[in-house]
């Protein structure tokens, strides 16, 4: 049986033995892949000296019907992002990306567009440019492709502020409900631009607010706040109730 070849990002790994590793990969054409790389830590072999989190490369693997772990046959590193080690903020964002992919995506469910968006975010973090928009695109794509994106129906186009219902996962009229999150007009505009495949404005404050809103929404979907999320966004709007799944989940 010949191995399947795919592009992949390493999002997690741990030692299996002195010379082998168990790896979680986000592949472009097969989604999340969990596999065993025998002999991957040997200096000479087919695994480029082992796996590093958020390195990008070409993976070869064999899927087995009677095993949850694929057999990894080769790994050729194509791209690394050393700024994730050298820059604290980039490091935090990188770990958040890896954590969210591992938590939100089921095994062997392909998301090629999300793969490219994730790779673009890592490249933005590597370049040292402000990654606010790239991070927003990543979070929006992650929610959209898993069926949890917020509904963007605007209940009051003339209002300066709206509210976000964290249970319904939608915007509503701001009536001061303590269980809703008050949202500024620029926040929903930034998300509307993403949903329409348009370039959002360069208003850094609005992009930051939109990022925090999506992170809080992701936290509710997960029913917990990961440490990686808190490290990137700090204190988020409070609500621990899980929202309803958006219509895109059944499409």
Query: Could you say which of 129, 154, 184 is where a domain stops?
Result: 129
Q: How many CB atoms lie within 10 A of CB 204?
A: 11
Instruction: State the total domains in the chain.
Output: 2
Do 79 and 159 have their domain in common? Answer: no
Do residues 96 and 163 both lie within one domain? Answer: no
Helix boundaries (H) for the chain: 83-86, 88-104, 112-127, 132-145, 185-195, 204-222, 227-233
pTM equals 0.93
Write out the residue range of the structural domain in which residue 165 sits: 135-250
- Write down the pLDDT at residue 240: 55
| Residues whose CB falls within 8 Å of the CB of residue 168, separated by 6 or more in sequence, listed in order | 151, 243, 244
- Whether 178 and 200 share a structural domain: yes
Looking at the chain, the whole-number percentage of residues with pLDDT higher than 90 is 77
The strand pairing partners of 58, in sequence order, are 7, 76
Label residue 249 by pLDDT band (50, 70, 90): very low
Mean pLDDT to the nearest integer, 63-92: 94
For residue range 36-69, list pLDDT tens digits in order. Answer: 999 888 877 798 777 999 999 999 999 988 888 9
Indicate if 110 and 159 belong to the same structural domain. Answer: no
Task: Tell me the per-residue pLDDT of 170-217, one tens digit each, with 9 for 90 and over.
Answer: 999 999 998 899 999 999 999 999 999 888 887 899 999 999 999 999
Distance CA 154, CA 168 (A): 14
Regarding whether 164 and 206 lie in a shared domain, the answer is yes
d(CA 75, CA 6): 10
Same structural domain, 114 and 144: no
Residues 163 and 231 in one domain: yes
Can you give the pLDDT at residue 8? 98
Q: What is the mean pLDDT of residues 81-89?
A: 95
| Residues 173 and 238 both lie in one domain | yes
């Amino acid at each position: 049986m010949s191995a399947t070849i795919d592009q992949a990002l390493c999002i997690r790994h741990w030692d299996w033995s002195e010379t082998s590793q168990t790896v979680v990969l986000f592949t472009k054409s097969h989604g999340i892949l969990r596999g065993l790389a025998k002999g991957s830590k040997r200096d000479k072999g087919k695994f480029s000296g082992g796996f590093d989190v958020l390195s990008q490369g070409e993976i070869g693997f064999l899927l087995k019907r009677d095993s949850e772990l694929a057999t990894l046959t080769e790994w050729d590193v194509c791209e690394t992002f050393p700024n994730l080690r050298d820059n604290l903020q980039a490091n935090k964002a990188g770990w958040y990306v890896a954590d969210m992919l591992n938590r939100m995506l089921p095994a062997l469910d392909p998301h090629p567009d999300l793969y490219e968006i994730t790779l673009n975010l890592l490249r933005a973090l590597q370049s040292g440019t402000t990654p606010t928009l790239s991070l927003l695109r990543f979070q929006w794509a992650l929610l959209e492709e898993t069926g949890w994106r917020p509904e963007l129906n605007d209940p009051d186009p003339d209002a300066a502020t709206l509210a976000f219902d964290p249970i319904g996962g939608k915007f509503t009229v701001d009536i001061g409900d303590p269980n809703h999150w008050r949202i500024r007009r620029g926040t929903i505009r930034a998300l509307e631009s993403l949903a329409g495949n348009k370039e959002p404005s360069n208003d850094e404050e609005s992009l930051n607010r939109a990022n925090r809103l999506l992170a809080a929404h992701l936290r509710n979907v997960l029913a917990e706040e990961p440490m990686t999320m808190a490290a990137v966004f700090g204190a988020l709007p409070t609500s621990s109730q899980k929202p309803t799944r958006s219509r895109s989940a059944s499409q």
